[in-house]
Structure 1
Amino acid sequence: MTSQISDILSQFDDELVEVLDSPIIQRPSPESPATSTATTSKPRRYSKVWLHTPVRRNEVILNSKGKPIWRCKYCSTEYQESGGTTAISNHLKLRHDIDISSAQEARSTLMQANIAEAFKNARQTRLQTSLPR
């Protein structure tokens, strides 16, 4: 009996996942008739730039050519997703004064500063030990 219930629940879970993963195409909005959105589970969007678009992170906006784009929720500027997030990040920083540098970028910057400081200290130590007293 328990295995039958488990099998039924497993089948229900599989059907639910299929429904949740299936794309949903929405009608284009009146303000931009050449675009549409589709809900999908791919691609995974981890960048903070997706917090600054008028749709949810897992929704895809398509341009009139059917290409996925990122649209700014503040000024409606659009960038193709295939271009990466650097241009989008620069747009947010320059046009809207929003800095979305990631924790990885912050760690890299800090590490580079630490390395530069270590080289500077090594030079000073070498100079101090090589000078006559």
Structure 2
Amino acid sequence: MDSSAPGGNLTKPLMIALGALLVGKMMSGGGAQASTPAASAPDGGLLGGVGGLLDKLKNAGHGDKVNSWVGNTAGDQKPIAPGELGAALGPQTVSNAAQQANMSEQQLLSMLAQNLPQIIGKLTANGTIPSLQQVAAALTQK
């Protein structure tokens, strides 16, 4: 198991979905499955990077959960339900990420809900939001 990658031993489809959400089409195997420009945030992925993801979750009323994840690698992050995550991200974002990861929307939301708190904790271990380059590097570590 590779404990240096965010979340440890994540499956390839989940890593592709995270890449789509946070970084952009570079995670989809060379960009062959590029999303439409209207579906992508200008500063990274479908959500505008880690900051965009956290903002979306906070704006949906999950600030207490998000705050328990950032900079917290101790494992006592507050959980988020798949339905809450889906509602916060929006149906188009979930659909696009699921398509890029070649999985159902329910599978995607279930995997993200289970792993996102730990991933965000590791990506923000120093208490700051990482750049797109840092996220891309972390998601592509072997």
User: For this structure pair, what is the TM-score category when the shorter chain's length is used for normalisation?
Assistant: under 0.3
Q: TM-score, normalised by structure 1?
A: 0.22
Q: TM-score, normalised by structure 2?
A: 0.21
